[in-house]
Structure 1
Amino acid sequence: MLKKSLISLTLVGLCGALAGCSSSSSSSSQDNRYQLRDDRAPKSAPDVSKVEDAHPKYEPYSRQGNQQNYTVRGKSYQVMSSAKGFKQTGGASWYGSKFHGHLTSNGETYDMYSMSAAHKTLPLPSYVRVTNEANNKQVIVRVNDRGPFHEGRIIDLSYAAAYKIGMLQQGTAKVSIETIHIESPESMALDELKDSSVHFIQVVASKDLVRINVLAKELEQKYQVPAKVEAANGFYRLQLGPIGQRYLANKLLVQLKQDGHPNSYMMYPKK
């Protein structure tokens, strides 16, 4: 990691892993919490290419880390009441060894080798799909922390997540993020009674059109669900659908993950 990037990381991640971080705390008192003064990559990291994406599931928002309003460095932030349908584009950074093993804003222990992240206003915990716009690599992370408190940055990724989307060397990247919102079992039961929309599941994206077309035929025959291939930004995206009922779509999504397609995800119905 370049020295310049490490300095940037220090500024970005200063408040990211602090529970109840506020503008009244000085930088020196915050630094006293950590063994390292500056953030850095781990000296000897495990092979994080094998770390799976976070697996979205319903989790009630925690009491800790979800105070409606808070202030950092004189700027106020308002936490959203729901993560449903949230999308955003901007800069991403990552944080590592300095914060590893310390508490996140959610009251959990930060593990830089897990698929986690920090965001300024999403309710905790939330699940987010992050796409590096430079290479179209994606990762699904669980947001359990606050930050990054730096102009133009919208999300702070763990070391493992940053590795997976290919931004470790640069230190920052332009990304688009989209929440994956899972309703409570009670809400889903009510929605399924009145659900008349259609659903699609995206299985994979690749630049290899031949491979995508072969896989599309295989999945179409295996699951007896129509498959389609869409081109976007130099990639071909394989989707299954339309599926008329949410519970059927959810059932197929679970099956796809079990059958070797762990990055499959539900697409929101177009209204």
Structure 2
Amino acid sequence: MRQPRSRPDRARSPLTAALAAVLATGLLAGCASTRGLESPNRGTTQRGLASWYGAKFHGRPTASGEIYDMNRISAAHKQLPLGTVVLVKNRDNGKKLRVPINDRGPFIKGRIIDLSVAAARQLEMFGQGLANVRIKVVRLPPKKRQLPISYPARGWRDSKPNRDRGSGFTIQAGAFRKRSSAVALARRLRRELDLDNVKVTRGRGVHRVQIERRRKQAADDVLQRLKDAGIAAFLVG
């Protein structure tokens, strides 16, 4: 019995072959991206969400052994070697800042870097809490680690937690008829803005959300942070 003649394979066009090569290269690059962060070169980049961490961790040791100071420029990253310096660009507003990595984190899906309070302030994303960023490795860590890894902040310093309690200056962040509304705002200030010494007071049927600071500079810092978060606060006294 005569066998049917098989159809010869069509030769791929140069355009098809080139497209296949590009796709293969892209797939290989994607597979190597994680390893690139663990052993980066200058110019290695990554995009994603940035967050910040503050008073809860202030004064605690970081993964590098340096004590975390939220008033200095530093950040946490899950993979980059400790001591690496990255250029962080806030893609929402164009602000850029060189930030050294001295800790591990963030451990929330979708976030790639956790900034100190000072770094978040200078990138103007403190009030929002999160920002779309692009990070680029600009300096590799030295062979012998030297502390501190963090940088001093320029032009701004937050009040350190638990050192500025008192009744010298009172900032009012809101006033409500319902106590539940005042309590909700107070919780938001503690959770999202990392503020301490927030209290709810009552007088003449109005529930007020107030923050106390001993020094004028610290009170001004709180006012600015509230303004950045879109809260119309003012100084009571």
TM-score (norm 2): 0.43
Larger radius of gyration: 2
